[in-house]
């Protein structure tokens, strides 16, 4: 009996000791809550400040840093009187990629490393800063956009790497100046002015707005020295203007002028992403974005990508967006609202294009007066694919010209057209014209999932060849 009681006592003591050890380990604070609270990056040095919520006994903090992929330097850091961690990475070089990892541990454990990557391949712009900046940091930015584009171009040539222009929110007054772009120019708008990565910005909140104030024809211009690519991301363009009389060239009227953003004679790839074009006017040509290749056959543009952009309330002799002579054009989540064209389209005009793909597009309340194609005017576009796109309340041929029937929110001449999972609601055309498609020498394919607004099938003939292909469409819910 004595032996049994002794065993019970020993087992109970073991349980008590085990629980005490567990409780004791829980009382030891592991480091926690390491958070970067401030930073400033220039082409010369990077400064970081971080806070630590819990750190316990035996705290050790180290910074491992160096060029990206080779952080060969290590420095021990300490908490200051405010409980913050400060680190300055000096001796940076322009045109390099770097990384810093903060390693935090104490007697109870180790935090996962906090890794930060950054580069010195940016030129910074703040339109409200003044004229004293060098453009090498958010603290000392340039205020002039053309100076920033020129500097990025020079640095790219000098260091053999691509530089980008980061533009802080604000108004960029281009009433008396056209920004001329170079080959491989990359312009990003929508920054608050403290970011160290493009993905940290919110271009919907921090608006970078370029305006012509109804005086300037073209705000951004790219010419034939563009061989590789140009990227414009996160900018807004408004109030570019061309009246009914254009400047003359050698005594002759120059018709190919204007467009808030214009590329002429370019090759390579053009990428316009997260941009808005609104309230631009061009009485001679397209009003928003114009892209023209150097040569239709020898030097067409390789790719034109328009991604997550809006065209709103633009008015022109032609469509709000025009693209001439390209191998491949993609509209990804591009939206057109209330644009108006006189001839050759209301929203978008494409000519001499090999393949054209539209995905998740929106065309609402666009108009043409004397032309087919209130939404899309396509001439010699070989292959067209449209998927998951909405066409609502568009009007074609508001006025009649020379007693011709004008119609088709989508006009295509030559090539093939396929439409999938798209919606057509309350679109109209002049008198007895086709309200939806007007096709000439085009092979049409309905790949399913399309829908037609109830009653819209009575809006004249929906298809120019009168073969009632749209009778296969279901009604939109």
Which residue ranges of the chain lie beneath pLDDT 70? 1-30, 244-256, 295-299, 399-405, 431-432, 455-472
At a CB cut-off of 8 Å and minimum separation 6, what does 24 contact? none
Q: Which pLDDT does position 397 carry in this prediction?
A: 81
| Entry field: residues in the chain | 477
At a CB cut-off of 8 Å and minimum separation 6, what does 14 contact? none
Q: Which pLDDT does position 18 carry in this prediction?
A: 44
CA 475, CA 477: separation in Å to the nearest integer? 6
**Secondary structure (DSSP) of 353-403:** EEEEEEES-EEES-EESSSS-SSEEEEEEEEEEEES-EEES-EE-SS--TT
pLDDT tens per residue, range 240-269: 998 765 444 344 444 457 889 999 888 889
Q: Which pLDDT does position 286 carry in this prediction?
A: 92
Q: Which pLDDT does position 12 carry in this prediction?
A: 43
Q: Which pLDDT does position 438 carry in this prediction?
A: 86
CA 175, CA 275: separation in Å to the nearest integer? 19
Instruction: Please indicate whether the domains covering 35-118 and 122-475 agree at the CATH topology level.
Output: no
Q: Which residues of 119-153 are buried (b: 16+ CB within 10 A; e: fewer)?
A: bbbbbbbbbebeeebebbbbeebbbbbeebbbbbb
Question: What architecture (CATH level 2) is domain 122-475?
Answer: 3 Solenoid (2.160)
Which residue, among 402, 468, 408, 467, has the nearest Cα to 432 in the 3D structure?
408
CA 346, CA 321: separation in Å to the nearest integer? 9
Q: Which pLDDT does position 306 carry in this prediction?
A: 98
CA 225, CA 11: separation in Å to the nearest integer? 85
Rg, the chain, Cα only: 30
Angle, CA of 8, 11 and 12, to the nearest 5°: 85
CA 316, CA 341: separation in Å to the nearest integer? 5
Q: Which pLDDT does position 163 carry in this prediction?
A: 98
Is 334 in contact with 359 (CB distance < 8 Å)? no
CA 117, CA 321: separation in Å to the nearest integer? 38
Q: Which pLDDT does position 246 carry in this prediction?
A: 46
CATH 1.10.3210.10, applies to 35-118: no
Per domain, the residue ranges of the chain are 35-118, 122-475
Q: Which pLDDT does position 470 carry in this prediction?
A: 59
Q: Which pLDDT does position 433 carry in this prediction?
A: 74
At a CB cut-off of 8 Å and minimum separation 6, what does 418 contact? 384, 385, 386, 444, 445, 446, 447
pTM of the model: 0.88
Instruction: Extract the tokens encoding 319.
Output: 């469509």
Q: Which pLDDT does position 452 carry in this prediction?
A: 84
Q: Which pLDDT does position 139 carry in this prediction?
A: 94
């Amino acid at each position: 009996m004595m032996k049994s009681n002794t065993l019970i006592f020993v087992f109970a003591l073991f349980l008590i000791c085990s629980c005490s050890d567990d409780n004791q380990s829980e009382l030891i604070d592991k480091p926690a809550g390491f958070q970067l609270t401030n930073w400033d990056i220039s082409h010369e040095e990077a400064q970081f400040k971080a806070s630590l919520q819990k750190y316990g006994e035996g705290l050790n903090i180290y910074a491992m840093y160096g060029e990206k992929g080779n952080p060969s330097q290590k420095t021990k850091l300490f908490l200051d009187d405010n409980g913050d961690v400060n680190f300055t990475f000096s001796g940076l070089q322009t045109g390099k990629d770097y990384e810093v990892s903060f390693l935090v541990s104490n007697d109870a454990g180790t935090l996962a490393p906090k890794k930060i990557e950054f580069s010195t391949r940016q030129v910074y712009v703040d339109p409200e800063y003044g004229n004293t900046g060098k453009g090498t940091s958010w603290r000392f930015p340039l205020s002039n956009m053309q100076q920033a584009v020129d500097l990025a171009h020079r640095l790219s040539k000098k260091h053999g790497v691509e530089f980008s222009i980061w533009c802080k929110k604000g108004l960029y007054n281009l009433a008396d100046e056209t920004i001329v772009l170079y080959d491989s120019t990359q312009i990003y708008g929508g920054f608050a002015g403290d970011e160290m990565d493009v993905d940290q910005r919110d271009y919907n909140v921090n608006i970078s707005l370029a305006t012509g104030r109804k005086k300037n024809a073209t705000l951004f211009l790219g010419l034939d020295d563009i061989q590789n690519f140009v990227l414009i991301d996160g900018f807004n363009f408004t109030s570019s203007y061309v009246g009914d009389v254009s400047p003359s060239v050698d005594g002759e009227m120059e018709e190919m002028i204007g467009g808030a953003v214009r590329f002429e004679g370019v090759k390579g790839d053009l990428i316009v992403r997260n941009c808005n074009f609104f309230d631009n006017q061009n009485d001679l040509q397209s009003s928003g974005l114009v892209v023209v290749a150097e040569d239709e056959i020898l030097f067409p543009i390789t790719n034109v990508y328009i991604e997550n952009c809006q065209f709103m309330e633009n008015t022109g002799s032609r469509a709000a967006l025009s693209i001439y002579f390209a191998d491949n054009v993609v509209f990804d989540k591009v939206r057109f609202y209330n644009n108006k064209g006189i001839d050759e389209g209301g929203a978008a005009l494409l000519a001499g294009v090999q393949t054209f793909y539209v995905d998740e597009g929106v065309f609402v309340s666009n108009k043409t007066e004397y032309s087919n194609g209130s939404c899309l005017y396509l001439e010699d576009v070989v292959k067209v694919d449209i998927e998951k796109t909405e066409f609502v309340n568009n009007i074609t041929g508001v006025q009649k010209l020379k007693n011709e029937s004008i119609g088709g929110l989508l006009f295509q001449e030559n090539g093939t057209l396929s439409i999938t999972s798209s919606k057509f609601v309350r679109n109209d055309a002049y008198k007895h014209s086709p309200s939806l498609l007007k096709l000439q020498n085009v092979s049409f394919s309905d790949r399913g999932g399309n829908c037609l607004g109830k009653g819209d099938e009575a809006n004249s003939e929906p298809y120019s060849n009168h073969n009632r292909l749209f009778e296969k469409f279901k009604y939109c819910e």
